[in-house]
Amino acid sequence: MKFKIGIRYILIGVLFGIVMTKSEAVSWFRIQEMFRFQSFHMYGIIGSALLTGIVITAVIKRFGIRDVYGETIKFHDKEKSISRYLIGGTIFGLGWALTGACPGPMFVLLGHGFLIMFIVILSAITGTFVYGLLRDKLPH
């Protein structure tokens, strides 16, 4: 990838890191508050992101909007299954509540100077690797 093209993804990432921080979605405390149903804050973030996202996705589909390369933006339907989403999702949720961070915030928090996040990210990479090894043996 040419550097000029690569830099746009870095800039979008910068925006993401700032939004995640200023929204406090990177906060372990906010995740705990969410799972205890003690504030509307996280539900408001996810809900308003989703409502906006639904409208934008529908508009892109309806008008066949093209990306910067001139290709029509396509959305890939997820494959059908219940077990993989429910079991995988539940395991993810157990880890999410414990570390208070999903994969995005893990990187953002590294930028906050919490170098211990290296260890958490390394564990998440290991988890992904072990999933790859066990994939054929797991219900999907």
Q: Which is nearer to another protein, 15 or 63 (CB)?
A: 15
Nearer to another protein by Cβ, of 63 and 131: the residue is: 131
Complex with another protein: residue 63 or 68, whichever CB lies closer: 68
* Residues 77-96 interacting with another protein (rule: CB under 8 A): 77-82, 84-96
- Buried-state track 6-37, b at ≥16 Cβ within 10 A, e below 16: eeeeeeeeeeebeebbeeebbbeebbebbeee
For residues 99 and 107, what is the distance between their CA atoms, to the nearest angstrom? 13
Interface pick for another protein out of 4, 10, 63, 64 (rule CB under 8 A): 10
- State which of residues 62, 64, 132, 137 lies at the interface with another protein (CB under 8 A): 132
Give the H/E segment covering residue 38: none
Q: Which residue, among 112, 113, 101, has the nearest Cα to 124 in the 3D structure?
A: 101
Is residue 72 involved in binding another protein (CB under 8 A)? no
Q: Return the number of the residue (22 or 63) whose C-beta is nearest another protein.
A: 22
Q: How many CB atoms lie within 10 A of CB 106?
A: 19
What mask of x and - would describe binding to another protein in positions 13 to 52, judged by CB under 8 A? Answer: xxxxxxxxxxxxxxxxxxxxxxxx-xxxxxxxxxxxxxxx
- Tell the smallest beta-carbon distance from residue 55 to another protein (Å): 8
In the bound complex, what is the minimum distance in angstroms from residue 52's beta carbon to another protein? 4
CA distance 21 to 106: 11
